[in-house]
Structure 1
Amino acid sequence: MGIPASMRLRKPREFLEVRSLGHRIHCGPFIFQCHVGACTVAPRFGIIASRRVGNAVKRNYGKRIFRELFRQHADELPLGSEVVVVLRNHFDRYSFDNLEARLLRACRTIRQKQATE
């Protein structure tokens, strides 16, 4: 199934904007960065897995996991949010449930920050 193109960050400029303007939350096996814009479109998602993470098999595995997590929990994010997840090389030591819990905790934190602003 996958994530539709309208819900993905695709251009380097979009990634840079989120990384420079957004809130950064260190979640252990990944870094969650989110910028909430004024528009009311569905949340958008991008993932960064550099070669430091591991070989191509490990990087693609991590990207598949986080795409699926985003697909399942995109409704936890405020409308107009853009999310970048930066994988760290030890993400594969954590179970899927643990990664899911960490991502949901980060989503709740962003939602709380959005409500106070």
Structure 2
Amino acid sequence: MGRLSRAQRIRKRPDFIRIQEGGIRVTSRHFLLLLAPSSDRNLPPRLGVVASRKVGGAVERNRSKRLVREVFRQSGAVFPAGIDVVVIVRPGAHLLSCAQMEAELQGVAPFIRRRAQEVLRRAHPSS
């Protein structure tokens, strides 16, 4: 397991709030993905992960977030540059293996790509 660089992470609360209030949604069984344009279209996609106490205790929440970050790192081609993604983890996600989590993401990948293109067209209509 590697780490996401600082440029690949959403770290500030105002960014989380901006994405959660205005992001386009893509849902799967264990995740809600919110997509929003980043400030610069040339930046790599950035990820933020939210896991509430509904997911479980600290161990379950942290495992879920760690696996989501790993799947994001491995599946970078799903998310185009210039997109910020907040993943809200739903209960039961901590029971998934990394491969199951990746399969779930790949299952909604066409929706993610289509919605990400919508987001980018709205944010940068001239391009």
TM-score, structure 2 normalization: 0.81
Match of 1:36 in 2: 37
2:106 to 101, 104, 107: 104
Match of 2:124 in 1: none
Q: Does 1:61 find its partner at 2:63? A: yes
Per-residue CA deviation, residues 90-112 of structure 1 (Å, 9 max, x unaligned), is 11344433321221233321322
Shift of 1:19: 1.2
Supply the distance in 2 between the matched residues of 1:82 and 1:107 (Cα, whole angstroms): 15
Gaps of at least 5 residues in structure 1 are none
Structure 2 matches for 1:1-117, cutoff 5 A? 1-37=2-38, 39-113=41-115, 114=117, 117=121
TM-aligned CA distance change 1:105 to 1:23, over 3 Å: farther
In the TM superposition, structure 1's runs of 4+ consecutive aligned residues that sit over 6 Å from their partners are: none
TM-aligned CA distance change 1:25 to 1:15, over 3 Å: same
Quick check: 1:32–1:106 contact (8 Å CA) kept in 2?
A: no
Per-residue CA deviation, residues 58-113 of structure 1 (Å, 9 max, x unaligned), is 01110110010011012221110000110111113444333212212333213223
